[in-house]
Amino acid sequence: MGLWQTIAKRVGYGLLLLVAVLILNFALISIAPGDIADTIAGDMGGADASVIEEIRTRYGLDRPFYVQLWRYLSRVALFDLGYSYFYNTPVTTLILEKLPATLLLVFSAQILAVITGTLLGVLAAKKPNGAVSLTVTFLSLFGFAAPVFWTGILLIILFVSIFPIFPVAGMVDVTVEGGFFVQALDVLHHLILPMVTLASIFLALYSRLARASMLEVLGADYVRTARAKGVPERSVYYKHALRNALGPVVTVAGLQFSAVISGAVVVEAVFSWPGLGTLALQSILARDTPTIMGILFFSSLVVIVVNILTDITLRLIDPRIKAG
């Protein structure tokens, strides 16, 4: 199967997954106690049964489940995720406003974790019992056990009271003026602590993985062949071995993406980063169901897109992989 066919197949499957997410969304709202009519009635300061019934009719809540579901799906197909009564804005607009901040945080943390993790793992594989290996072991224990918000808060305490060189909240400093470049630098300056915090959970995983898969690859026949025919050790290590060892790291990095988004929700809360996680938390506290459902939908969309991209990357790294 060609690359394009694979992509088409993956995209089709991704769309099916998205529909499943929407059905789940809808089912959850339907079985949860209380509906929009109750919420609206509550905001009105209470209403009697006939008024609530009227609201139900107006919003189509009296129609059968599948009719409501179909209306919901066809609206979402046009990217209409409903209206947020709390923010007085369409949900899609609201989410698209916040999405870039989250994507920036998530991608930069993921890239930082993958690159540093792979480097550490590769260095550790050179000496399986050396100092770097020991560091990787300790890091992986710490990375799994430390709650991410705790790491973030400790960093805040450290960088506020001891080394006040990084801002610890928000994404931009309103007092900073200047052109695009100055503004971008300001965002990067704000990004550093949240990015490092988020990367700290996954760094350990990738370094352990890279170490293990490097050790395995270095024992393979083709590495011995390369050495035997006199390929310089550097080239054996970084070209022959590393390229093959990257496969598992990329695979896991793709699979971890939804976990990175989960982590970002917490990190955003710690550093007041104005992204989807902060929006999700605010809309949950405000009982703004359309918004929170929209966020769940959009984050699943991001995960699905990243999964497809991971598949393509894997095929580019390793031409042997044929879609099955």
Q: Which of 266, 290, 308, 310 binds another protein (CB under 8 A)?
A: 266
**Contact status: 134 vs another protein (CB under 8 A):** no
Contact 260, 202 (CB under 8 A): yes
Choice between 237 and 271, CB closer to another protein: 271
Choice between 33 and 230, CB closer to another protein: 33
Choice between 96 and 182, CB closer to another protein: 96
Q: Which of 6, 197, 200, 300 binds another protein (CB under 8 A)?
A: 300
The distance from CA 128 to its chain's CA centroid, rounded to whole angstroms, is: 32
- What is the DSSP code (8-state) at residue 239? I
**Contact status: 265 vs another protein (CB under 8 A):** yes
Which residue, among 306, 302, 293, has the nearest Cα to 28 in the 3D structure? Answer: 293
Q: Please, what's the largest Cα pairwise distance for the chain?
A: 87
Q: Which of 145, 162, 165, 174 binds another protein (CB under 8 A)?
A: 145
x/- contact string, 60-89, with another protein (CB under 8 A)? ------------------------------
**Contact status: 262 vs another protein (CB under 8 A):** yes
**Contact status: 310 vs another protein (CB under 8 A):** no
**Contact status: 287 vs another protein (CB under 8 A):** yes
Q: Which of 1, 3, 96, 141 binds another protein (CB under 8 A)?
A: 141
Contact 242, 216 (CB under 8 A): no
Identify the H or E element spanning 89: strand 89-90
Q: Which of 11, 77, 160, 316 binds another protein (CB under 8 A)?
A: 160
Q: What are the Cα distances from residue 277, in Å, to 110, 115, 186, 308?
A: 16, 25, 21, 23
Closest separation in Å from C-beta 45 to another protein: 22
**Contact status: 47 vs another protein (CB under 8 A):** no
Q: Which of 150, 170, 219, 232 binds another protein (CB under 8 A)?
A: 150
Give the contacts of 30 (CB within 8 A, at least 6 positions apart): 65, 68
Exposure letters 51-84 (e unless 16+ CB within 10 A, then b): ebeebbeeeeeeeeeeebbeebeeebeeeebbbb
Which residue, among 292, 303, 260, has the nearest Cα to 98 in the 3D structure? Answer: 292
Contact 134, 126 (CB under 8 A): no
| Amino acid at residue number 81 | L
Closest separation in Å from C-beta 156 to another protein: 6
Contact 236, 227 (CB under 8 A): yes
**Contact status: 280 vs another protein (CB under 8 A):** yes
How many amino acids of this chain bind another protein (CB under 8 A)? 48
**Contact status: 238 vs another protein (CB under 8 A):** no
How many beta carbons lie within 10 A of that of residue 160, not counting itself? 13
Which positions touch another protein (CB under 8 A)? 17, 20-21, 24, 28-29, 32-33, 141-142, 144-150, 153-154, 156-157, 160-161, 255, 258-259, 261-263, 265-266, 269, 277, 280-281, 284-285, 287, 289, 292-293, 295-296, 299-300, 303-304, 307
